[in-house]
């Protein structure tokens, strides 16, 4: 589960489902505020290694969300006493998470109905 990088050449795609990155980041930050790598690691771990987020898409997404007011950032000391940029969910971000989750459930329910028809 935590051997990221050793299984990079695996056959199945480890990309996120398109358009879900921001929702997953919001959900991850709703549990606790963390730095960029923390978010990536958490998504990978909770998904059981199915999804992996690389910094090339994670950091731009965080930057967009910060600009949209869904998250805010502050520099804090890590557990190893290093400075790291921590991201926190804002009230607006919490609302966005609820809205996006609802929409996501509607969409997968609809897709499931189509596939089972």
Binding footprint of other proteins on the chain (CB under 8 A): 2-5, 8, 35-38, 40-41, 54-57, 59-61, 63-64, 67-69, 78, 80, 82-85
Which CB, 56 or 114, lies closer to other proteins? 56
Which CB, 16 or 40, lies closer to other proteins? 40
Any residues with CB less than 8 A from the CB of 42 and at least 6 apart, and which?
28, 31, 34
Beta carbon of residue 69, minimum distance to other proteins (angstroms, whole number): 6
Beta carbon of residue 56, minimum distance to other proteins (angstroms, whole number): 5
d(CA 8, CA 110): 32
Q: Are 61 and 36 in contact (CB under 8 A)?
A: no
Beta carbon of residue 66, minimum distance to other proteins (angstroms, whole number): 9
Q: What angle do CA 15, 83, 51 make, to 5 degrees?
A: 10
Which CB, 8 or 115, lies closer to other proteins? 8
Q: Are 96 and 70 in contact (CB under 8 A)?
A: yes
């Amino acid at each position: 589960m935590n051997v990221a990088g050793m299984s990079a050449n695996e056959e199945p795609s480890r990309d996120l489902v398109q358009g879900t990155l921001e929702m997953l980041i919001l959900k991850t930050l709703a549990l606790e505020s963390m730095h960029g790598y923390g978010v990536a690691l958490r998504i990978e771990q909770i998904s059981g290694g199915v999804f992996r987020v690389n910094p090339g898409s994670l950091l731009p997404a965080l930057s967009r969300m910060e600009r949209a007011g869904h998250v805010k950032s502050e520099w804090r000391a890590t557990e190893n006493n290093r400075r790291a940029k921590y991201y926190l969910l804002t009230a607006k971000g919490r609302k966005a998470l609820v809205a996006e989750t609802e929409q996501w459930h509607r969409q997968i329910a609809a897709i499931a109905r189509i596939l089972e028809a």
